[in-house]
């Protein structure tokens, strides 16, 4: 099969993207190797999705059991709910080590060769691997780059890993600062505000842009603020950035106006989580050896087939996937890109469809979306000459949500008025991360509210919030 090459496919980076690509490659009959310089499983398994969701699960239970008012409404009394910080941290650590083992074994089981060391492209169809035992060169018909990303720390912020830290350390839950500043109100800021507030920390959230959760649909962000921020022990600064952060006891944070750069205030807190985005881990990948280069933000330029581009043209036999491509920094997006790359390697043309890839924040309640925000859809409508409509339904009108006593939230469908095609769906509410998938399938198939409104949903289920939204759209 390998036609004079050591492998059909060599993948650099064994994160979720590389892992997904490797499993698919083997199922397509490709002789495959994967190179990993650090932890098998990459960010998601070791420092991302998995430990953070373990912390959210445990802290979410604490929040629920301490919500006497909510429990009383269901006729339940619970007294003296306590927790053990280290035991919660251990739950996350144990899960990481289990899933890291499972991922490593799954590669071994299907016959993927795992090579430990740092991989680098060394010319067409060639990779060098540097490890403690020296350098070696391997050849492959195709190469996939999946080196992932690392936390971005803005200038002026000093990380000591104890009092001022990124998510890399926060997922270990080594301490619970009584007063914690969270810089950034994106996914990580929001999820950790959920963990820390449930476990009794006071929070100050600092967001540079002029609204909290700037990446979310505006209606959803407004409700998220009402449900996830305002009723909790969270103070917010918006349009303000952390100009300087000095670790210690206390941590000293100098705040400035993001637009004017003028001094605003100085905070002294017990801990500070820096959650200001992530940057690609793409240094020294050897792209120049095949005449390619990173874009100005350090991402690997790719097309929708996941081919690496040089001067806008695909570089033969070189592909890139995952966070390092800067498209959608999500675990399932990375592995979906990996599958697309492998399909194209096998000469079956396939392109990634970002519009149908869902995303979720695992707060309590959860937020999820797929496709475009109303603002983005309107911009597209103006450019292409169609009108956008939206339909909203409320969890308060859903029998199952009322029975659960969890009736905060909405579902919002963004669609074209002319064809009814669904362009985006946004949900905040109980189990939003699971509810989004039928909308994702609808968008993948470019379905219209006119056909979706005839699908039958079991009663009483939370999924009826979407059923109701599609029906409202049709009868609007």
Ligand X SMILES: NC(=O)c1ccc[n+]([C@@H]2O[C@H](COP(=O)([O-])OP(=O)(O)OC[C@H]3O[C@@H](n4cnc5c(N)ncnc54)[C@H](O)[C@@H]3O)[C@@H](O)[C@H]2O)c1
131 strand-pairing partners:
134
Task: Tell me the two tokens of residue 377.
Answer: 């859809």
Pairing of strands 366-371, 422-429: antiparallel
Cβ neighbours around 248 below 10 Å, total:
12
Residues 181-200 that bind ligand X (CB under 6 A): 183-189, 191
207 makes contact with ligand X (CB under 6 A): yes
Q: How many Cβ atoms sit within 10 Å of the Cβ of residue 75?
A: 6
214 touching ligand X, by CB under 6 A? yes
Q: Which does 271 bind (CB under 5 to 8 A by kind): ligand FAD, ligand X, none?
A: none
Q: Is residue 425 classed as helix, strand or coil in its secondary structure?
A: strand
Instruction: Please say which residue, 159 or 346, places its beta carbon nearer to ligand X.
Output: 159
Residue 288 DSSP code: G
DSSP state of 349: -
The binding track of 365-404 with respect to ligand X, each residue x by CB under 6 A or -, is ----------------------------------------
| Measured torsion, CA atoms of residues 458, 464, 467, 473, in degrees rounded to the nearest 10 | 160
Distance in Å, CB of 429 to ligand FAD, minimum: 18
48 part of the interface to ligand FAD, by CB under 6 A:
yes
Q: Give the active site residues.
A: 459
Task: Pick one of 23, 99, 242, 253: the residue that binds ligand X (CB under 6 A).
Answer: 242
Given 44, 345, 391, 407, the residue binding ligand FAD (CB under 6 A): 44
Residue 329: CB minimum distance to ligand X, A: 3
281 binds, among ligand FAD, ligand X, none (CB under 5 to 8 A by kind): ligand FAD
In the numeric block, which tokens belong to residue 233?
């022990």
| Shortest separation between residue 445's beta carbon and ligand FAD, angstroms | 22
Query: Which structure tokens are listed for 296?
Result: 């100005």
In the set 23, 138, 142, 147, which binds ligand FAD (CB under 6 A)?
A: 147
Nearer to ligand X, 28 or 209 (CB): 209
330 touching ligand FAD, by CB under 6 A = yes
Residue 175, exposed/middle/buried by CB under 10 A (0-12, 13-18, 19+)? Answer: middle
Q: How far is the CB of 36 from ligand FAD (least distance, A)?
A: 5
Half-sphere exposure (Cβ direction) of 397: Cα atoms closer than 13 Å: 11
Per the CB < 8 A criterion, the answer to whether 217 and 412 are in contact is yes
Q: Report the DSSP pairing between strands 366-371 and 388-394.
A: unpaired
SS3 105: helix
Separation of alpha carbons 319 and 97, rounded Å:
30
CA 117 to chain centre: 26
In this complex, which beta carbon is closest to ligand FAD, that of residue 46 or of residue 393?
46
Does the footprint of ligand FAD cover residue 331 (CB under 6 A)?
A: yes
Piece in contact with ligand FAD (CB under 6 A), picked from 80-88, 106-114, 220-228, 317-325: 317-325
**Exposed, middle or buried: residue 273 (CB in 10 Å: 0-12, 13-18, 19+)?**
buried
360 is an interface residue for ligand X by CB under 6 A = yes
> In whole angstroms, how close is the CB of 199 to ligand X at the nearest point?
18
Identify the residue among 21, 208, 223, 439 touching ligand X (CB under 6 A). Answer: 208
- Chain residues binding ligand FAD by CB under 6 A are 12-18, 35-39, 42-44, 47-49, 52-53, 118-119, 146-149, 167, 171, 188, 281, 322-324, 329-332, 334
């Amino acid at each position: 099969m390998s036609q004079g090459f050591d492998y059909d496919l060599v993948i650099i980076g064994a994160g979720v993207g590389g892992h997904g690509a490797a499993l698919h490659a083997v199922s397509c009959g490709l002789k495959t190797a994967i190179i990993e310089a650090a932890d098998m499983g990459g960010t998601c398994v070791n420092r991302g999705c998995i430990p953070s969701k373990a912390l959210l699960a445990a802290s979410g239970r604490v929040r629920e059991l301490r919500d006497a008012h909510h429990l009383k409404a269901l006729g339940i009394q619970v007294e003296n709910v306590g927790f053990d910080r280290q035991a919660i941290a251990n739950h996350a650590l144990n899960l990481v080590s289990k899933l890291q083992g499972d991922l490593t074994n799954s590669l071994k089981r299907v016959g993927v060769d795992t090579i430990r060391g740092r991989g680098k492209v060394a010319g067409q169809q060639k990779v060098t691997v540097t490890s403690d035992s020296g350098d070696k060169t391997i050849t492959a018909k195709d190469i996939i780059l999946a080196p992932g990303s690392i936390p971005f720390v803005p200038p002026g912020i000093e990380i000591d890993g104890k009092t001022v830290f990124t998510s890399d350390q926060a997922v270990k839950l080594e301490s619970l600062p009584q007063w914690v500043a969270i810089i950034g109100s994106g996914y990580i800021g929001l999820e950790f505000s959920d963990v820390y507030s449930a476990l009794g920390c006071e929070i100050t959230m600092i967001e540079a842009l002029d609204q909290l959760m700037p990446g979310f649909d505006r209606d959803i962000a407004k409700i998220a603020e009402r449900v996830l921020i305002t009723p909790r022990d969270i103070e917010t600064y918006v349009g303000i950035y952390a100009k300087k952060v000095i670790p210690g006891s206390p941590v000293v944070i100098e705040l400035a106006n993001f637009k004017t750069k003028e001094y605003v205030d100085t905070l002294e807190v017990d801990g500070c989580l820096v959650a200001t985005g992530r940057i690609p881990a793409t240094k020294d990948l050897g792209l120049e050896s095949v005449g390619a280069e990173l874009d100005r933000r350090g991402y690997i330029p790719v097309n929708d087939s996941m081919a690496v581009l040089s001067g806008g043209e695909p570089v033969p036999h070189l592909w890139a996937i995952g966070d390092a491509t800067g498209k959608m920094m999500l675990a399932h997006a990375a592995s979906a890109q990996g599958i697309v790359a492998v399909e194209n390697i096998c000469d079956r043309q396939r392109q990634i469809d970002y519009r149908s890839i869902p995303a979720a924040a695992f707060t309590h309640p959860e937020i999820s979306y797929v496709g475009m925000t109303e603002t983005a859809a309107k911009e597209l409508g103006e450019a292409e000459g169609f009108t956008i409509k939206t339909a909203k339904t409320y969890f308060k009108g859903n029998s199952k949500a009322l029975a659960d006593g969890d009736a905060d939230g909405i579902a919002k469908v963004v669609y074209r008025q002319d064809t009814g095609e669904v362009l985006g769906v946004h949900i905040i509410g109980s189990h939003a991360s699971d509810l989004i998938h039928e909308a994702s399938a609808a968008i993948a198939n470019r379905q219209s509210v006119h056909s979706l409104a005839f699908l039958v949903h079991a009663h009483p289920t939370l999924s009826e919030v979407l059923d109701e939204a599609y029906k409202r759209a049709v009868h609007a």
